[in-house]
Amino acid sequence: MCGIFGYVGTNTEENPVDICLEGLRYLEYRGYDSAGIAGILDGKINACKTAGRVHDLEALIRKSELKLSIAIAHTRWATHGKPSSYNAHPHFDSEHQLAIVHNGIIENYAFLKEELIKQGIVFHSDTDTEVIAQLLSFYYKGDVLSALRKTLQQLEGTWAIALIHKKHPDQIFAATKDAPLVVGYGTKEIFLSSDPNALKKEDLDILYLQNQDIAILQADSVKIVDLEGKEKITCFEKLHHESSGHGKDNFEHFMLKEIFEQPLSIKRAMENRLNEYLGTAYFEDLTLSLHELQSINRILILGCGTSYHAGCIAAALLQNIARIPTEVDIASEFRYSDPILSEDTLVIAISQSGETADTLAAVQMVRAKKAKVLGICNVKNSKLARESDSCLFLRAGPEVSVCSTKAFTSQLTLLGLFTLFMARLRHLSKEAGQQLLHELKSLPSTVEKVLSQARDIHALAKKYAHHEHFFFIGRRYMYPTSLEAALKLKEISYLNAIGYPAGELKHGPIALIDENHVTVAMCGNAATYTKLVSNLMEIKARGGPLIAFAPRSASNLETIADDILYLPEILDPLASIPYSIAAQLFAYYIAKEKGTDIDKPRNLAKSVTVE
């Protein structure tokens, strides 16, 4: 993960330290184990770095009164080496001539480190990144570009790198391989960032660095060369900002705010995408032709984490409603398989940030096999949007909390619309399409009804917050909903929460059921409800505490469940949305009872840009 920011300029009104701090504050979603900044002033490398968050770094900077004329900065999600001040970036060579920040993983760092130690070089951190700094210094003979090219040719893995050298005080050098970096070009100033949305200045021209690009940045120039040193033609484009996330308003946490934004975010996902007369969906940004879509005879959905759970639900929708054979795979596993794909396969790649490394690697693999790629993403400036044949955007707005809430339900809404679109292209009647469209349009009001029960859910959370173990179970659409519900609870409360198919409990996991192991039953699938009740009886017989999320029409629950949260009636294919929102609130209030850091849970980051 990790976030990189850099600044070089000749505008005396701009403070490189403040500019980089502002950039890091936006990039902190990429990791917040430690943070640091380095730059050049009066021919020396000066730096501040610390374990902790960007506000800890800022306090250290203010105390030391750090001043820099050029700067690179970093916020870290730890891969190699525990979070600490000595493992924080930037890292330096032994002679303190250069400083480097890095996002990615150097897979052969141990071999390179051993070779450098044989040369008498002393290391001061546990990171793979320091190897890059020491190797650069080893190759440096007065030409940073030459040393960087030689260094990169030795590295195996992924990287986005920014570095400065005290003998080149007006330049930042950058390089990338399978990790995002973008250059922002202003008037007599250059910005460098892992995310274009961190470039808050208006009227910037931007350039996305391509694989194996090396950039030499000065206040009034940008030069791009390839790994062989050959200069490349640069093509800048105008930066279009995403709308600001603003503050928390009157909410205690961003997560709670974003949970309550879901009626609006779901509505925005559907806005101008409904054709009620024809009973179908319409996508202005869908560039795949009707002929291409009608020729699709198989769909493969790829995602990680919450996006994978959305893909599981979408696969059931597409297969059951559109009648298209659909599979879903975890991108981090799929990328190492040898898939059978063809030109009549549509791959749907889902990523909230559009920068998820495993998903992007999987997309590159399927494109090489000539399959069409449809991206589902929340960020217009993202790499997924650029790599896909076509991309549909969630329009959920910035999601600040690390724990995804509104992006997930926007994914489900958009994928539901796409399912309707594909079904109407094939077999679904106009009348059936209109009926499903009517149910989709009712989602915001259904979600409002769930949110109105926040006090009841809070009371339920208080009652069960002292428990350490939870099962979330369901059948059909409710099984992947249970996976997502369990993920939300474990992410922010650090409890052991597992999602499981209800019918599979008796094949082993039921051994865990006792008076301390809570089961939350997601009863929102009417077609399998009676079978689910049988599973709940099996849990009850073994003394396990039982919570049911269920529609009011559900029968026989009062004598089985210890507590019931009644949720609005809704069609089975759409039930994942209100049931997930109830689970989000349940997880939020349990985490609040336990006093955890809800918006920035330990060990996590919003955008997973490493393997």
d(CA 453, CA 583): 12
Any idea which residue has 């210094």 for tokens? 137
Domain 252-441 class in CATH: alpha beta
Residues with Cβ within 8 Å of 507's Cβ and at least 6 positions away in sequence, in order, are: none
Q: What is the pLDDT of residue 1?
A: 63
Q: What sign does the CA torsion over 595, 597, 603, 609 have?
A: positive
Q: What is the pLDDT of residue 336?
A: 84
Q: What is the pLDDT of residue 608?
A: 66
| Under 8 Å between Cβ of 156 and 175 | no
Instruction: Provide the annotated active-site residues.
Output: 2, 606
Q: Does domain 449-601 have CATH number 3.40.50.10490?
A: yes
Q: What is the pLDDT of residue 243?
A: 52
With bands split at pLDDT 50, 70 and 90, how would you rate the model's confidence at 246? low
Q: What angle, 0 to 180 degrees and rounded to 10, lies between the N-to-C axes of helices 262-270 and 443-451? A: 170
Q: Where are the domains of the chain?
A: 3-238, 252-441, 449-601
Q: What is the pLDDT of residue 609?
A: 59
Mean pLDDT (the chain, rounded): 91
With bands split at pLDDT 50, 70 and 90, how would you rate the model's confidence at 379? confident
In this structure, what DSSP letter does residue 510 have?
Answer: G
Mean pLDDT of 133-144: 94
Residue 53: is it exposed, middle or buried by C-beta count within 10 angstroms (0-12/13-18/19+)?
Answer: buried
Query: Backbone phi, then psi, for 40, in 5-degree steps?
Result: -120, 135
Q: Do domains 3-238 and 449-601 have the same CATH topology?
A: no
d(CA 579, CA 574): 9
Tens-digit pLDDT profile for residues 256-296:
999 999 999 999 999 999 999 999 999 998 999 999 999 99
403, 476, 416, 488: which is closest to 446 by C-alpha? 416
With bands split at pLDDT 50, 70 and 90, how would you rate the model's confidence at 474? very high
Mean pLDDT of 480-508: 95
d(CA 84, CA 509): 39
Please give the CATH architecture assigned to the domain spanning 3-238.
4-Layer Sandwich (3.60)
